[in-house]
Amino acid sequence: MGFAAADVPPAAPGRVHPNPQRIESAVSPVRPSPRPVNRLAHEKSPYLLQHRHNPVDWHAWGEEAFARARAEDKPIFLSIGYSTCHWCHVMERESFEDEGVAAFLNGHFVSIKVDREERPDVDKIYMTFVQATTGQGGWPLNVLLTPELKPFFGGTYYPPETRGGRPGFLTLLREVQQFWETRRGELVEAAAGLYGRLAELAAVRAGSERPLTAAVLQGAAAKFKEEYDPRHGGFGGPPKFPRPSQPACLLRCAAWLGDREALRMVLHTCDRMAAGGLYDQLGGGFARYSVDGEWLVPHFEKMLYDNAQLVPLYLEAYLVSGEERHATVAREVIRYVLRDLTHPAGGFYSAEDADSEGKEGKFYCWTRAEMAALLEADEFKVAARYFGVTEGGNFSDHSDPDPLPGQNVLSVVNPSLAPAEESLLASAKKKLFAARSSRVRPHLDDKVLASWNGLMLGALARAAAVLGEPDYRQAAERNLAFLQAHLWDAASKTLYHRWRDGERDRVQLLDAYAFLLAGVLELYQATLEPAHLEFALDLAAAMLERFYDTAQGGFWQSGAGASELILRIKEDYDGAEPSGNSVAALALLKLGALTGRTEFHQAAERTLRFFSQRLRRLPQAMPHMLQALDFWLGEPARVAIAGPLDHADTQTLLRAAHSVYRPNQVVLGTAGPVEPFARTLTPQDGRPTAYVCTGTSCQPPTQAGEMLRRMLRSARP
């Protein structure tokens, strides 16, 4: 049931308008002030708010819209997107701001807008339908439903007039309305049949009784290597997504199998991504994907979830390679997130748009003349050569009938510099960044999602442990405090998904619980603070209660109370984001190893067995779950550190424990709800002491950080 979706349909004409949060006056054609608003003005989603001035009579997803469709016996027009989606902006400008289109929609349909980032469960159902019936998917996702929410027709972007093989949007609506009026019985019958097929497609079958062995990992590594691009790095062809769980999985396999070729593939991929235009060479952070196979021209939007996953990947590359450049990328990504995606109280915002001032990439791109005017002659000479800046440029927005000329996406084209040129490049980059900071920024999606924050929380905690940066730990602690204050209800042990502008939603999603659980476990292992492990236990218990399928294993994407969903789904695809099932499985295995509580290990094991056929037949669909399988196949090592947490020697041992690439290891203290054996360990001779244990056996204790490193390096990763 997995799919890979992008918001890039075949190029079509149409100028993109900017987003309202930062350039409100340019969102739509000029209208008399005050501009009228629709009911979306009362929502919190930045994406829904972008559509509050449309003449379309939009509803948010909910019973009010469903009841109206039933009462008026009208089909539902469901449109799903997100606030930083380039082609969503195109379709809004072309169609949803058009008075004629709006009048037809308002007269014959009940129109619903959904933010896919707030409701991935709704998006998953209807994206699966469109994928199955058209062979492709993406955003904006536009689907026609019966009043009972069953889909009967759908697609992605539709131009205002028929062109390029795509039907015009208004033409399509008229045909659907005519069919609804004259042949409704056939349409309703077809919708029922399509629903049956969709239910079959969505039903993940429980795995077989065949044992899961290391052969599954070996087969997965072989498939990943087949997809590898030896020239530019990455796996597969354009458009190229970082999809961090795939190289992270291959890195595990490389370490376990001693496969130096696989290791080289991962490190090469990391280097090429960081050298490309996918990476912001001035401000840090990665864009969502590259439209080409070279990582050169990005789709310029920056998503929190990508950057949160890429930090641990580059940290692992650093631990394996020992090359400072990999650690530098991790630091620069974190600097970007803390600078541009952080709420003053510590939460992390969701994304930045691709567009500004009506032009995709305008904030990030440079003409040769702009750079020459800004820099000193010797700085310009070095920077232009290093970044490959040309008069003609390397980027043109094909969706814009009047694209900006000579635009250069900065990428590392000629990295060799003489020692004297290093300082010139640094000076040039500083000036370019300062000048860029004065430009009109892209729209910021400032909602705080528990799921994506959990990913970033874990990334910061891991970076604090590996790099020894106390500021990262502080940022992680502030983030957790923010989430506990605004999205966690301690009395009912409930975690909500979205907070924005002082208000949280009521949605219950597996991803929120699983991703935050994984992040909190990283923070615990970086700090050994018992309170963090106690909170992880609360999260795990709530996740199992609300989402775990006790009959067959695996986790439902939504809670049982989501009655408005026509299907309940178990997500089985690790795409740009890992699935909740995969993250939950690995997190529960780690929690079981830390606490010795078998119920967590058993739930993870049953989840792995439930998805076993998927892992065998299509391992590239679930690379994050393969990491859970790798953890499960062996007895995880435990590094227990006994000693006061504020003691310098304790911190030295803790840093050493995280300084070696050992993905199947947990680090724990000896206080709080840790496993029983760890609670018996004590400092030797009154000095902080580390114990490296597997099962019931331990190596001799050590009080020296370097000795601990040697012990860890000598064992299996």
CATH number at residue 181: 3.40.30.10
Quick one: average pLDDT of 473-490? Answer: 98
User: Could you give the CA distance from residue 513 to residue 559 in angstroms, rounded to a whole number?
Assistant: 11
User: Could you give the CA distance from residue 39 to residue 707 in angstroms, rounded to a whole number?
Assistant: 64
Residue 384, pLDDT above cutoff 60: yes
CB 124 within 8 A of CB 2: no
Sheet arrangement for strand 444-445:
302-303, 351-352, 444-445
Show which of 588, 604, 633 is a domain's final residue: 633
Long-range contacts of 394-397 (CB under 8 A, 24+ apart): 394/277, 394/296, 394/297, 395/277, 395/297, 395/361, 395/365, 397/16, 397/359, 397/360, 397/361
Cα→Cα distances 148→70, 180, 188, 399, 561, Å: 8, 14, 10, 36, 18
Quick one: average pLDDT of 474-499? Answer: 98
661 shares a domain with 615: no
Quick one: average pLDDT of 9-24? Answer: 29
Which pLDDT band holds residue 442 (cuts at 50, 70, 90)?
A: very high
In this structure, the strands spanning 498-500 and 637-642 are unpaired
293 shares a domain with 407: no
Q: DSSP for 62-73, please give it.
A: SHHHHHHHHHHT
Residue 179, pLDDT above cutoff 60: yes
Q: Letter for the amino acid at 324?
A: E
Q: DSSP for 431-484, please give it.
A: HHHHHHHTSPPPPEE--EEHHHHHHHHHHHHHHHHHH--HHHHHHHHHHHHHHH
Q: Which 8-state DSSP code applies to residue 155?
A: E
pLDDT more than 70, % of the chain: 95
Would 16 be classed as within a structural domain? no
CB 684 within 8 A of CB 703: yes
| Predicted local confidence at residue 164, as pLDDT | 77
Crossing angle, helix 324-340 and helix 304-321, to 10 degrees?
Answer: 160
Cβ neighbours for 20, distance < 8 A, ≥ 6 positions apart: 27, 49, 50, 53, 443
CATH code for the domain in which residue 680 is found: 3.40.30
Q: Is the peptide bond before 140 cis (omega within 30 degrees of 0)?
A: yes
- Nearest 5°: CA angle at 289, between 404 and 222? 145
User: Could you give the CA distance from residue 80 to residue 77 in angstroms, rounded to a whole number?
Assistant: 10
Quick one: average pLDDT of 111-135? Answer: 95
| Predicted local confidence at residue 29, as pLDDT | 34
Sheet arrangement for strand 498-500:
448-449, 498-500, 503-504
Which pLDDT band holds residue 398 (cuts at 50, 70, 90)?
A: confident
Give the chain's count of helices (H) and strands (E).
Answer: 26, 21
| Predicted local confidence at residue 27, as pLDDT | 33
Quick one: average pLDDT of 8-24? Answer: 30
User: Could you give the CA distance from residue 620 to residue 597 in angstroms, rounded to a whole number?
Assistant: 31
Would 3 be classed as within a structural domain? no
Residue 435, pLDDT above cutoff 90: yes
Residue 688, pLDDT above cutoff 50: yes
76 shares a domain with 43: yes
Token code pair at residue 602: 């058993």
315 shares a domain with 378: no
Q: Is the peptide bond before 242 cis (omega within 30 degrees of 0)?
A: no
Which pLDDT band holds residue 4 (cuts at 50, 70, 90)?
A: very low
Which pLDDT band holds residue 13 (cuts at 50, 70, 90)?
A: very low
User: Could you give the CA distance from residue 388 to residue 384 in angstroms, rounded to a whole number?
Assistant: 6
Q: Which of 672, 635, 670 is nearest to 654 (CA)?
A: 670
pLDDT tens digits, 232-285? 999 999 999 999 999 999 999 998 888 999 999 999 999 999 999 999 999 999
Would 7 be classed as within a structural domain? no
* Half-sphere exposure for 151 (CA within 13 Å, toward CB): 26
Token code pair at residue 29: 């054609």
Long-range contacts of 374-380 (CB under 8 A, 24+ apart): 374/431, 374/432, 374/435, 375/428, 375/431, 375/432, 376/427, 378/424, 379/424, 379/425, 379/427, 379/428, 379/431, 380/428
Average pLDDT, the chain: 92
Cα→Cα distances 511→205, 457, 694, Å: 21, 14, 31
Would 11 be classed as within a structural domain? no
Show which of 610, 633, 656 is a domain's final residue: 633
471 shares a domain with 417: no
Higher-confidence residue of 9 and 349: namely: 349
Which pLDDT band holds residue 388 (cuts at 50, 70, 90)?
A: very high
Token code pair at residue 180: 């609804």
Could you tell me how far CA 618 lies from the centroid of its own chain?
Answer: 21
| Predicted local confidence at residue 580, as pLDDT | 98
Which of 203-217, 537-551, 593-607 has the lowest average pLDDT?
203-217
297 shares a domain with 152: no
237 shares a domain with 92: no
409 shares a domain with 313: no
662 shares a domain with 625: no
Would 38 be classed as within a structural domain? yes
Domain count, the chain: 4
Would 345 be classed as within a structural domain? no
Cα→Cα distances 187→69, 127, 131, 176, 200, Å: 16, 20, 20, 10, 20
Residue 25, pLDDT above cutoff 90: no
pLDDT tens digits, 515-566? 999 999 999 999 999 999 999 999 999 999 999 999 999 999 998 888 889 9
pLDDT more than 90, % of the chain: 88
| Predicted local confidence at residue 22, as pLDDT | 33
CB 512 within 8 A of CB 497: yes
Could you tell me how far CA 402 lies from the centroid of its own chain?
Answer: 32
What pTM did the predictor assign? 0.94
Q: Which 8-state DSSP code applies to residue 384?
A: H
N- to C-terminal Cα distance for the chain? 32
Residue 24, pLDDT above cutoff 60: no
648 shares a domain with 629: no
| Predicted local confidence at residue 717, as pLDDT | 63
Would 261 be classed as within a structural domain? yes
Cα→Cα distances 21→437, 443, 633, Å: 17, 6, 48
Residue 18, pLDDT above cutoff 90: no
Q: Letter for the amino acid at 646?
A: D
Token code pair at residue 649: 């020697």
Would 351 be classed as within a structural domain? no
| Predicted local confidence at residue 716, as pLDDT | 67
| Predicted local confidence at residue 661, as pLDDT | 97
Residue 691, SS3 per DSSP: strand
User: Could you give the CA distance from residue 483 to residue 496 in angstroms, rounded to a whole number?
Assistant: 9
164 shares a domain with 125: yes
> Which residue's entry shows tokens 């608003």?
37
Instruction: Tell me which residue range forms the domain holding 626.
Output: 214-340+447-633
Quick one: average pLDDT of 101-111? Answer: 98
CB 68 within 8 A of CB 75: no
Show which of 602, 633, 664 is a domain's final residue: 633
Cβ neighbours for 42, distance < 8 A, ≥ 6 positions apart: none
CB 333 within 8 A of CB 284: yes
587 shares a domain with 563: yes
Beta-carbon count within 10 A of 134 CB: 12
